[in-house]
Amino acid sequence: MRLRLVKENTNFDFFARPKLWLGISVVLMILALGSFLYQGLNYGIDFKGGTTVRSESSTAIDVGAYRDAIVPLGLGDITISEVFDPTFDADQHVAMIRIEAQEGQEAVTSDVIAQVLSALQVIAPDIKFVSVESVGPKVSGELIQTAAIAVILAIAAVLIYIWLRFEWQFALGAVAALVHDVILTIGVFSELQIKFDLAIIAALLTIVGYSLNDTVVVFDRVRENLRKYKKKPLKEVLNISINETLSRTFMTSITTLLALIALFVLGGDVIRGFVFAMIWGVIVGTYSSIFIASAILLWLGVKRDWSKSDANAGTQFANIDA
């Protein structure tokens, strides 16, 4: 007997109250933007600037012990990661220690570096710092700008792809869902003041891809059913399409969430922010694919007879496999 998270031949009416779902999403987006504008994000070292120290020791690295030794110094955000390289000797253990820029200073001072070294020597007496590099506020500001451009370009690329693949109404629906997901994710990080760094930008781009995948699956079924049910109202065709893909949508989301929750619980502090963003993104991405993208498509309307070619409809590339 096969496991089914959703019964066969479901017939849920996802558009009984489309304005309600859109209204809830609009309110949440306004709250997210308000939180971002009022208190901003808790930027990590990548965006604040700071100092990166490369250490070497013959003692095996314990990231937790390193962190416990440095935290009492009160240096703010600290990131510690072990470096692996096949060229390292058997007793060569390398770690990267990143310390955020202190208030009013471009970089961590030599006195602070000496304090960190002394604290770590309690754990690894032979530890040494082989390099110390600093990233100033100017470079960090450029990183913020570059990250924002990366997200915007990704969404723009989605707009063009969906427009060529389907029609402009589908493209606007997909982009609205992606913007919804990104804004809500940024809003959660702003409200909870979770550290926001380049790993979270990677998570945002991954969320864009995941949400788009869900949306395209639904839209493909919508296009098939528009050919199949030429006389049915668009609302009914959308309901049929979402119900037909509901089992696949839930199975994909649940299995992805199981892996992410395991990483969140067992993965440690280094990737916890990234995994949290992914968990939240999977949830809102699944929601937006069903309730936002399709609702926008219902509101805009779409060509019904797909058996006729229309070079002006944005579907001239619809048969391209991608």
pLDDT at 303: 64
pLDDT at 320: 40
Instruction: Quick: pLDDT tens for 195-214.
Output: 887 788 888 888 888 888 88
Write down the mean pLDDT value for the chain. Answer: 80
pLDDT at 261: 92
Phi and psi, residue 46, nearest 5°: -55, -35
- CA-CA distance, 114 to 206, in Å (whole number)? 39
Has residue 22 got a pLDDT over 80?
A: yes
- Cβ–Cβ under 8 Å, residues 37 and 279: no
Q: Across residues 77-91, what is the average pLDDT?
A: 78
CB atoms within 10 A of CB 119: 16
Q: Which of 59, 55, 180, 187 is nearest to 125 (CA)?
A: 59
Q: Across residues 21-38, what is the average pLDDT?
A: 90
Q: At what angle do helices 168-192 and 293-300 cross, to 10 degrees?
A: 140
E strands, 166-284, in order: 195-196
**pTM exceeding 0.85:** no
Q: Which residue has the higher pLDDT, 181 or 322?
A: 181
Match 């864009």 to its residue by tokens: 208
Q: What 3-state class would DSSP assign to 30? A: helix
Q: Above pLDDT 70, what percent of the chain?
A: 85
Has residue 104 got a pLDDT over 70?
A: no
Q: Which domains does the chain have, with CATH numbers?
A: 18-42+140-300 (1.20.1640.10), 50-135 (3.30.70.3220)
